[in-house]
Structure 1
Amino acid sequence: MPFVRVSYLEKKYEAEQLSIISREIMSTLVEHFNVPEDDYFQVFHGHKASEFYYSPNYLNISRTDGLLFIQITLKSGRSTEQKKDFYSRLAERLSNILNIRKEDVFVVLVDTEFEDWTFGNGVAQMIENQGKE
Protein backbone atom coordinates (compact mmCIF):
# COMPACT_ATOMS: atom_id res chain seq x y z
CA MET A 1 0.00 0.00 0.00
CA PRO A 2 2.73 2.47 -0.75
CA PHE A 3 1.96 5.92 -2.06
CA VAL A 4 4.87 7.38 -3.99
CA ARG A 5 5.59 11.04 -4.70
CA VAL A 6 8.48 11.98 -6.96
CA SER A 7 9.62 15.58 -7.31
CA TYR A 8 12.15 16.76 -9.86
CA LEU A 9 13.21 19.88 -11.72
CA GLU A 10 10.81 20.38 -14.62
CA LYS A 11 12.13 19.64 -18.10
CA LYS A 12 14.96 17.60 -16.59
CA TYR A 13 13.25 14.30 -17.39
CA GLU A 14 11.20 13.28 -20.41
CA ALA A 15 7.87 11.42 -20.12
CA GLU A 16 9.48 8.13 -21.15
CA GLN A 17 12.15 8.51 -18.45
CA LEU A 18 9.50 9.26 -15.82
CA SER A 19 7.63 6.12 -16.86
CA ILE A 20 10.81 4.06 -16.40
CA ILE A 21 11.51 5.70 -13.02
CA SER A 22 7.96 4.79 -11.96
CA ARG A 23 8.41 1.20 -13.12
CA GLU A 24 11.75 0.82 -11.36
CA ILE A 25 10.42 2.22 -8.09
CA MET A 26 7.52 -0.22 -8.25
CA SER A 27 9.73 -3.19 -9.18
CA THR A 28 12.03 -2.43 -6.26
CA LEU A 29 9.06 -2.15 -3.88
CA VAL A 30 7.78 -5.52 -5.07
CA GLU A 31 11.22 -7.12 -4.80
CA HIS A 32 12.28 -5.76 -1.40
CA PHE A 33 9.03 -5.11 0.45
CA ASN A 34 6.76 -7.76 -1.13
CA VAL A 35 4.29 -5.12 -2.31
CA PRO A 36 1.54 -6.56 -4.56
CA GLU A 37 2.12 -5.56 -8.18
CA ASP A 38 -1.33 -3.96 -8.49
CA ASP A 39 -0.82 -1.82 -5.35
CA TYR A 40 0.38 0.95 -7.64
CA PHE A 41 -0.20 4.60 -6.67
CA GLN A 42 2.34 7.21 -7.76
CA VAL A 43 2.39 10.91 -8.60
CA PHE A 44 5.16 12.89 -10.25
CA HIS A 45 5.68 16.62 -9.81
CA GLY A 46 7.89 18.72 -12.06
CA HIS A 47 8.96 21.94 -10.32
CA LYS A 48 10.16 25.28 -11.65
CA ALA A 49 13.66 26.26 -10.55
CA SER A 50 12.08 28.81 -8.19
CA GLU A 51 10.28 25.92 -6.41
CA PHE A 52 13.11 23.39 -6.20
CA TYR A 53 15.82 23.80 -3.58
CA TYR A 54 18.48 21.46 -2.27
CA SER A 55 21.92 21.44 -0.73
CA PRO A 56 24.43 20.55 -3.44
CA ASN A 57 26.76 18.86 -0.96
CA TYR A 58 25.02 17.98 2.33
CA LEU A 59 26.74 14.99 4.03
CA ASN A 60 29.47 15.22 1.36
CA ILE A 61 27.14 13.94 -1.36
CA SER A 62 27.49 15.91 -4.58
CA ARG A 63 23.99 16.58 -6.01
CA THR A 64 22.99 18.05 -9.37
CA ASP A 65 19.82 19.39 -10.96
CA GLY A 66 19.06 15.77 -11.88
CA LEU A 67 18.04 15.23 -8.26
CA LEU A 68 14.95 13.10 -7.65
CA PHE A 69 13.11 13.53 -4.34
CA ILE A 70 11.30 10.23 -3.82
CA GLN A 71 8.91 10.08 -0.87
CA ILE A 72 7.25 6.74 -0.20
CA THR A 73 4.48 6.47 2.37
CA LEU A 74 3.92 2.84 3.36
CA LYS A 75 2.86 0.49 6.13
CA SER A 76 5.41 0.22 8.94
CA GLY A 77 7.18 -3.04 9.66
CA ARG A 78 10.21 -3.15 7.38
CA SER A 79 13.55 -3.79 9.02
CA THR A 80 16.50 -1.43 8.85
CA GLU A 81 18.29 -3.94 6.61
CA GLN A 82 15.32 -4.13 4.22
CA LYS A 83 15.25 -0.35 3.99
CA LYS A 84 19.00 -0.08 3.39
CA ASP A 85 18.82 -2.77 0.70
CA PHE A 86 15.86 -0.97 -0.90
CA TYR A 87 17.74 2.36 -1.04
CA SER A 88 20.81 0.73 -2.53
CA ARG A 89 18.94 -1.33 -5.10
CA LEU A 90 16.74 1.55 -6.27
CA ALA A 91 19.74 3.85 -6.76
CA GLU A 92 21.55 1.08 -8.59
CA ARG A 93 18.60 0.36 -10.91
CA LEU A 94 18.04 4.02 -11.80
CA SER A 95 21.76 4.47 -12.40
CA ASN A 96 22.09 1.37 -14.58
CA ILE A 97 18.92 1.84 -16.63
CA LEU A 98 18.67 5.64 -16.99
CA ASN A 99 22.18 6.75 -16.08
CA ILE A 100 20.83 8.79 -13.16
CA ARG A 101 23.59 9.52 -10.70
CA LYS A 102 23.19 7.53 -7.49
CA GLU A 103 23.98 10.76 -5.64
CA ASP A 104 20.80 12.24 -7.14
CA VAL A 105 18.46 9.56 -5.78
CA PHE A 106 17.09 11.03 -2.53
CA VAL A 107 14.58 8.72 -0.81
CA VAL A 108 12.51 9.12 2.34
CA LEU A 109 10.24 6.39 3.68
CA VAL A 110 7.27 7.47 5.80
CA ASP A 111 5.85 4.64 7.95
CA THR A 112 2.12 4.52 8.68
CA GLU A 113 -0.42 2.06 10.12
CA PHE A 114 -3.46 0.37 8.55
CA GLU A 115 -5.87 2.92 10.04
CA ASP A 116 -4.06 5.72 8.21
CA TRP A 117 -5.35 4.67 4.77
CA THR A 118 -8.48 4.75 2.69
CA PHE A 119 -8.34 3.69 -0.94
CA GLY A 120 -11.73 5.21 -1.70
CA ASN A 121 -15.39 5.19 -0.65
CA GLY A 122 -14.50 6.68 2.74
CA VAL A 123 -13.65 3.22 4.07
CA ALA A 124 -10.49 2.13 5.89
CA GLN A 125 -10.15 -1.00 3.72
CA MET A 126 -7.02 -2.30 5.42
CA ILE A 127 -8.83 -2.40 8.78
CA GLU A 128 -12.08 -3.73 7.29
CA ASN A 129 -10.17 -6.53 5.53
CA GLN A 130 -8.10 -7.65 8.53
CA GLY A 131 -8.87 -11.23 9.49
CA LYS A 132 -10.68 -11.92 6.19
CA GLU A 133 -7.64 -13.40 4.44
Structure 2
Amino acid sequence: MPFIRVSYLEQQYESHQLKRISQTIMEALIAHFNVPVDDCFQVFHAHKREEFVYSRNYLNVERSDGLLFIQITCKSGRTTEQKTSLYKTLATKLSTTLPMRKEDVFVVLVDTEFEDWSFGNGVAQMLQRTTEEV
Protein backbone atom coordinates (compact mmCIF):
# COMPACT_ATOMS: atom_id res chain seq x y z
CA MET A 1 0.00 0.00 0.00
CA PRO A 2 2.77 2.45 -0.59
CA PHE A 3 2.02 5.83 -2.10
CA ILE A 4 4.95 7.22 -4.06
CA ARG A 5 5.71 10.84 -4.93
CA VAL A 6 8.63 11.56 -7.23
CA SER A 7 9.74 15.15 -7.69
CA TYR A 8 12.33 16.39 -10.16
CA LEU A 9 13.45 19.50 -11.99
CA GLU A 10 11.39 19.94 -15.16
CA GLN A 11 12.99 18.85 -18.42
CA GLN A 12 15.52 16.65 -16.61
CA TYR A 13 13.75 13.40 -17.45
CA GLU A 14 11.81 12.25 -20.50
CA SER A 15 8.62 10.19 -20.36
CA HIS A 16 10.38 6.88 -21.11
CA GLN A 17 12.81 7.60 -18.24
CA LEU A 18 9.94 8.37 -15.86
CA LYS A 19 8.35 5.05 -16.81
CA ARG A 20 11.62 3.26 -15.99
CA ILE A 21 11.88 5.14 -12.66
CA SER A 22 8.34 4.02 -11.83
CA GLN A 23 9.11 0.40 -12.71
CA THR A 24 12.37 0.41 -10.74
CA ILE A 25 10.68 1.80 -7.63
CA MET A 26 7.94 -0.81 -7.88
CA GLU A 27 10.43 -3.67 -8.39
CA ALA A 28 12.40 -2.54 -5.33
CA LEU A 29 9.26 -2.31 -3.18
CA ILE A 30 8.18 -5.79 -4.23
CA ALA A 31 11.63 -7.21 -3.47
CA HIS A 32 12.35 -5.45 -0.18
CA PHE A 33 8.93 -4.57 1.30
CA ASN A 34 6.91 -7.52 -0.08
CA VAL A 35 4.46 -5.16 -1.78
CA PRO A 36 1.85 -6.90 -3.99
CA VAL A 37 2.47 -6.48 -7.72
CA ASP A 38 -0.83 -4.64 -8.31
CA ASP A 39 -0.37 -2.26 -5.34
CA CYS A 40 0.96 0.60 -7.46
CA PHE A 41 0.07 4.24 -6.67
CA GLN A 42 2.59 6.81 -7.90
CA VAL A 43 2.59 10.47 -8.87
CA PHE A 44 5.35 12.38 -10.62
CA HIS A 45 5.87 16.11 -10.22
CA ALA A 46 8.05 18.25 -12.48
CA HIS A 47 9.08 21.53 -10.84
CA LYS A 48 10.29 24.85 -12.18
CA ARG A 49 13.80 25.79 -11.07
CA GLU A 50 12.51 28.27 -8.47
CA GLU A 51 10.30 25.51 -6.97
CA PHE A 52 13.08 22.94 -6.70
CA VAL A 53 15.42 23.83 -3.87
CA TYR A 54 18.12 21.57 -2.43
CA SER A 55 21.57 21.59 -0.88
CA ARG A 56 24.18 20.60 -3.45
CA ASN A 57 26.46 18.98 -0.86
CA TYR A 58 24.61 18.28 2.42
CA LEU A 59 26.23 15.36 4.31
CA ASN A 60 29.04 15.31 1.72
CA VAL A 61 26.78 14.03 -1.07
CA GLU A 62 27.36 16.00 -4.28
CA ARG A 63 23.96 16.45 -5.94
CA SER A 64 23.17 17.74 -9.44
CA ASP A 65 20.07 19.03 -11.20
CA GLY A 66 19.30 15.37 -12.00
CA LEU A 67 18.19 14.96 -8.38
CA LEU A 68 15.09 12.83 -7.76
CA PHE A 69 13.14 13.24 -4.54
CA ILE A 70 11.39 9.91 -3.93
CA GLN A 71 8.91 9.99 -1.05
CA ILE A 72 7.45 6.63 -0.08
CA THR A 73 4.48 6.67 2.28
CA CYS A 74 3.84 3.17 3.62
CA LYS A 75 2.72 1.10 6.58
CA SER A 76 5.15 1.16 9.48
CA GLY A 77 6.94 -1.98 10.57
CA ARG A 78 9.79 -2.43 8.09
CA THR A 79 13.16 -3.25 9.59
CA THR A 80 16.22 -1.05 9.29
CA GLU A 81 17.73 -3.74 7.05
CA GLN A 82 14.72 -3.66 4.70
CA LYS A 83 14.87 0.13 4.50
CA THR A 84 18.62 0.38 3.89
CA SER A 85 18.55 -2.39 1.29
CA LEU A 86 15.69 -0.56 -0.48
CA TYR A 87 17.76 2.66 -0.60
CA LYS A 88 20.78 0.83 -1.97
CA THR A 89 18.76 -1.03 -4.59
CA LEU A 90 17.05 2.15 -5.79
CA ALA A 91 20.33 4.07 -6.12
CA THR A 92 22.10 1.19 -7.83
CA LYS A 93 19.33 0.23 -10.26
CA LEU A 94 18.36 3.78 -11.17
CA SER A 95 22.00 4.69 -11.80
CA THR A 96 22.45 1.77 -14.17
CA THR A 97 19.10 1.69 -15.99
CA LEU A 98 18.56 5.39 -16.74
CA PRO A 99 21.54 6.15 -16.34
CA MET A 100 21.75 8.71 -13.55
CA ARG A 101 24.03 9.44 -10.63
CA LYS A 102 23.57 7.49 -7.38
CA GLU A 103 24.13 10.77 -5.55
CA ASP A 104 20.93 12.09 -7.11
CA VAL A 105 18.65 9.41 -5.62
CA PHE A 106 17.13 11.01 -2.49
CA VAL A 107 14.64 8.75 -0.68
CA VAL A 108 12.47 9.48 2.33
CA LEU A 109 10.09 7.00 3.97
CA VAL A 110 6.96 8.17 5.77
CA ASP A 111 5.50 5.50 8.06
CA THR A 112 1.75 5.33 8.62
CA GLU A 113 -0.79 2.98 10.20
CA PHE A 114 -3.73 1.11 8.64
CA GLU A 115 -6.26 3.72 9.76
CA ASP A 116 -4.38 6.36 7.75
CA TRP A 117 -5.47 4.92 4.38
CA SER A 118 -8.63 4.99 2.28
CA PHE A 119 -8.33 3.52 -1.21
CA GLY A 120 -11.73 4.87 -2.23
CA ASN A 121 -15.43 4.83 -1.33
CA GLY A 122 -14.73 6.58 1.99
CA VAL A 123 -13.67 3.25 3.51
CA ALA A 124 -10.54 2.34 5.48
CA GLN A 125 -10.03 -0.91 3.58
CA MET A 126 -6.87 -1.92 5.41
CA LEU A 127 -8.69 -1.72 8.76
CA GLN A 128 -11.40 -3.98 7.38
CA ARG A 129 -8.77 -6.47 6.19
CA THR A 130 -7.10 -6.68 9.61
CA THR A 131 -10.41 -7.19 11.46
CA GLU A 132 -11.49 -9.82 8.92
CA GLU A 133 -8.21 -11.69 9.40
CA VAL A 134 -8.63 -11.83 13.19
Which TM-score applies when normalising by structure 1? 0.98
Counterpart CA distance in 2 for 1:99 and 1:19 is 13
Is 1:36 matched up with 2:46? Answer: no
Which deviations, in whole Å up to 9, do the C-alpha atoms of 1:42-95 show, x marking residues without a partner? 000000001000000000100000000000000000000110000001100001
Number of the residue aligned with 1:2: 2
Q: Name the amino acid aligned to 2:32.
A: H
- Aligned-residue sequence identity (percent) comes to 68
Q: Which ranges in structure 2 are unaligned for 5 or more consecutive residues?
A: none
Q: Name the amino acid aligned to 2:11.
A: K
Which TM-score applies when normalising by structure 2? 0.97
Number of the residue aligned with 1:14: 14
Counterpart CA distance in 2 for 1:17 and 1:56 is 23
Counterpart CA distance in 1 for 2:127 and 2:60 is 43
Number of the residue aligned with 1:127: 127
Counterpart CA distance in 1 for 2:45 and 2:56 is 20
Number of the residue aligned with 2:75: 75
Counterpart CA distance in 1 for 2:39 and 2:120 is 13
1:132 deviates by 2.9
Backbone CA RMSD of aligned residues: 0.7
Matches within 5 A, 1:37-56: 37-56=37-56
Counterpart CA distance in 2 for 1:100 and 1:76 is 29
Corresponding residue pairs, total: 133
